């Protein structure tokens, strides 16, 4: 069974600094996708970045980058130049890529607080 582990319940960072949110995963599948979502206090899940298991390069989307280390089964999110609006819950998630199903397995999340 797939499992996502986020070991940091909370993280603090000062504005304009970079921060890394940890995510490790466990799966026996060869083909899978890894996602990061942001959830502000409003509740909506906002897609940030995606990494496929066969992608050779780390994914980047603006200030977000995903540090994908396949052998270590880790998919850490790096946020560069943090902004106050980045304060939110962040979830790492995984999806099997071969089944055609959309089911996501989520980690427990990390609450990020950005201070001025």
Partner 1 sequence: KAGVTQTPRYLIKTRGQQVTLSCSPISGHRSVSWYQQTPGQGLQFLFEYFSETQRNKGNFPGRFSGRQFSNSRSEMNVSTLELGDSALYLCASSPIAGGSYEQYFGPGTRLTVT
Binding site for partner 1 (CB under 8 A): 33, 35, 37, 42-47, 50, 52, 91, 93, 97, 99-109
Neighbours of 97 (CB within 10 A): 15
CB of 15 to partner 1, least distance (A): 27
CB of 85 to partner 1, least distance (A): 17
Check: CB of residue 61 under 8 Å from CB of residue 48.
Answer: yes
Between residues 13 and 38, which has the closer beta carbon with respect to partner 1? 38
Check: CB of residue 42 under 8 Å from CB of residue 34.
Answer: no
Q: 3-state DSSP call for residue 17?
A: coil
Between residues 8 and 33, which has the closer beta carbon with respect to partner 1? 33
What is the separation, in whole angstroms, between the first and last Cα of the chain? 41
CB of 14 to partner 1, least distance (A): 28
């Amino acid at each position: 069974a797939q499992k996502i582990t986020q070991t940091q319940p909370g993280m603090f960072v000062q504005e304009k600094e970079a921060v890394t949110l940890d995510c490790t995963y466990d799966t026996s599948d060869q083909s899978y996708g890894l996602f990061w979502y942001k959830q502000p206090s409003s509740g909506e899940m906002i897609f940030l970045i995606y990494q496929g298991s066969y992608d050779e390069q780390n994914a980047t989307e603006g200030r977000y980058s995903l540090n994908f280390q396949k052998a270590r089964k880790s998919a850490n999110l790096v946020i560069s130049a943090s902004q106050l609006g980045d304060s939110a819950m962040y979830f790492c998630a995984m999806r099997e890529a071969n089944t055609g199903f959309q089911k996501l397995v989520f980690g427990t999340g990390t609450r990020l607080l950005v201070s001025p």
